[in-house]
Structure 1
């Protein structure tokens, strides 16, 4: 048995505007369980990058440890990649981003990786407004160690073994809102029509973009009583809006009634069709209220929960040079004794 994807593809496959096919965005064949929601998310990432026409070598994908953190091997095989230790992906992403601001940083994590051992790193990546996509594949259990409940498992949820979780869940979307994340969304691995535009919008967002994706574990957490199963999520989804991401350089042909257009920094547009009266995705308090209302009703709120269109990412906050730090030459890094003496004199 091989896990290497066949190289042959039909010669007439559709190409994007930089003449790449979807094959150029694929990775190795998945070794995850058949039906795992994570594979659907990998497919959505491939489709989003293909539609945005991003050269694969401009993307850096980073992960920690867990089923979710295996998935970067299954997409964007021609991209940069770094598989770090459990819960430490955000610090690796921070160092890479500070060294080279020209890459698109895509962090993949899991509920154990971010809500438990990696919580401290997760919250500081938000606080610093690291310019990256932070996608959590959330299945409410530890799939690599036989399905124990994770910190995102809902109170009262039943495991495949029959035990009931006694503790309240950590809501990563609510936490992201509270900590000041500038792009917060939730989706479901089985809803690519919603997930792909959210990933595209997150890639284009100039700051920390959090997407929490409910991704059922078919082996350990897809049973009756689980609040992270396919059936439960489908029955309890409540979408904030119908989302479509349309790059500004292409003609906009979609027609939305009662729509709102949010213009991002690069000129791209995020189209929202409001379904809830009083909903404002640019109002953090409105987003928090909607999240709490959904929780009280037992609903899973999906879609774009909050976005801050005008935001300063970490390089803007630090006012670093536009030149990637890893390409700075010695004459700029070591300006000489005269410059050092002038600096010391200014501090006296």
Structure 2
């Protein structure tokens, strides 16, 4: 079977501030199952990058192994990409980020790639506050190996041919909060109106921005017995509210009536507006987010939206004081500054 996409596009397609059309942010034609939620996430990333007028060559896409980790092929075809070993994407992202802090890093992983074999790598990327957007396309199963339950599958949830899962699930949003992630959100692949602004905010955030996206598997979890299936998720969503991302270039933020939204200013001056459906949520409090996630789970509901953001986030480069320049641009005088600089450095460590 061959997969071909027509090259023709309407000559009057809308363009962004860079003169790019949405087509310039697309990738190869997807070979995932028709209707897969992962493709909806790819489309949301394409839409967010197009609307933010991001230069494609300034984005680095990284992934591990799994259905989810195939998806970077399907968006930002003109960006840099690296498909790593199963569960090892965070260490590759860390190395790339330390070598060149000027790039925008987008990590795409799955519930198996992150919550099982990659959990150790994930925890250290979070606690180091690596400056990247980390998206988990969470379907609760291993789609590439015939649908076995993953570590995020809920107790009692069953895939199409499996027995009900007897084990407690790992809630990755809660884990990220406990480990110190400075931006935590959850969404649903079928809710682009919520997901696109969350992606924009995550890209603009300085630090580790984690988005757990429930993305039902149409092949193995598309049945009523699965809590990651379309029927169950759509019937049990509880959103924190409508999220709107306002770039810093737009000074008018009065479209939201006072008292109905909460403004959060990002480091680059961008603003996230969160219309809170639950008055108990304080997006500046980890404890508040963790409590509400637990409370909604007890009601058999999935809390989505922006759950937590640290406005004073300091990323890994700030924490350890790395070079302001990409390593490839350092010259001999930068690398060998002389004896006086070395003496001052040694003195500072005494």
Under TM normalisation by the shorter chain, which class is it?
A: over 0.9
**Structure 1 residue 321 displacement after superposition:** 2.5
1:308 to 298, 307, 310: 310
Unaligned runs of 5+ in 1: none
SS across alignment from 1:241 = coil
Q: CA offsets per residue over residues 9-38 of structure 1, 9 Å max, x none?
A: 111000011111000000000000001000
8 Å Cα contact 1:141-1:153 kept in structure 2: yes
Q: Relative to 1, partners in 2 of residues 1:202 and 1:7: Cα closer, same or farther, differing over 3 Å?
A: same
8 Å Cα contact 1:3-1:28 kept in structure 2: no
Could you say which residue in structure 2 is the equivalent of 1:51?
51
Structure 2 CA distance for aligned equivalents of residues 263 and 335 of structure 1: 38
Could you say which residue in structure 2 is the equivalent of 1:298?
300
SS across alignment from 2:17 = coil
Which stretch of structure 1 is more off in the superposition, 218-227 or 105-114?
Answer: 218-227
Q: Relative to 1, partners in 2 of residues 1:253 and 1:27: Cα closer, same or farther, differing over 3 Å?
A: farther
Report the number of matched residues.
Answer: 348
TM-score calculated relative to the size of structure 2: 0.96
8 Å Cα contact 2:115-2:151 kept in structure 1: yes
Q: Relative to 1, partners in 2 of residues 1:160 and 1:325: Cα closer, same or farther, differing over 3 Å?
A: same
Q: Relative to 1, partners in 2 of residues 1:177 and 1:10: Cα closer, same or farther, differing over 3 Å?
A: same
Structure 2 CA distance for aligned equivalents of residues 77 and 83 of structure 1: 14
Could you say which residue in structure 2 is the equivalent of 1:38?
38
Q: Relative to 1, partners in 2 of residues 1:329 and 1:166: Cα closer, same or farther, differing over 3 Å?
A: same
Structure 2 CA distance for aligned equivalents of residues 269 and 346 of structure 1: 39
8 Å Cα contact 2:222-2:230 kept in structure 1: yes
Could you say which residue in structure 1 is the equivalent of 2:233?
233
8 Å Cα contact 1:5-1:27 kept in structure 2: no
**Structure 1 residue 346 displacement after superposition:** 6.4
**Structure 1 residue 336 displacement after superposition:** 3.9
**Structure 1 residue 340 displacement after superposition:** 4.2
8 Å Cα contact 1:256-1:273 kept in structure 2: no
Q: CA offsets per residue over residues 206-245 of structure 1, 9 Å max, x none?
A: 1100000000100111112100000100000000121110
Could you say which residue in structure 1 is the equivalent of 2:221?
221
**Structure 1 residue 325 displacement after superposition:** 2.1
SS across alignment from 2:61 = strand
| 1:98 matches 2:92 | no
**Structure 1 residue 334 displacement after superposition:** 1.9
Aligned pairs for 1:16-35 (under 5 A) are 16-35=16-35
Could you say which residue in structure 1 is the equivalent of 2:289?
287
SS across alignment from 1:187 = strand
SS across alignment from 2:109 = strand
SS across alignment from 1:161 = coil
Structure 1 CA distance for aligned equivalents of residues 77 and 348 of structure 2: 50
Could you say which residue in structure 2 is the equivalent of 1:128?
128
Could you say which residue in structure 1 is the equivalent of 2:206?
206
Could you say which residue in structure 2 is the equivalent of 1:278?
280
Structure 1 CA distance for aligned equivalents of residues 193 and 244 of structure 2: 9
Aligned pairs for 1:59-208 (under 5 A) are 59-208=59-208
| 1:267 matches 2:269 | yes
8 Å Cα contact 1:174-1:288 kept in structure 2: yes
SS across alignment from 2:275 = strand
Structure 1 CA distance for aligned equivalents of residues 212 and 240 of structure 2: 14
Which stretch of structure 1 is more off in the superposition, 255-264 or 79-88?
Answer: 255-264
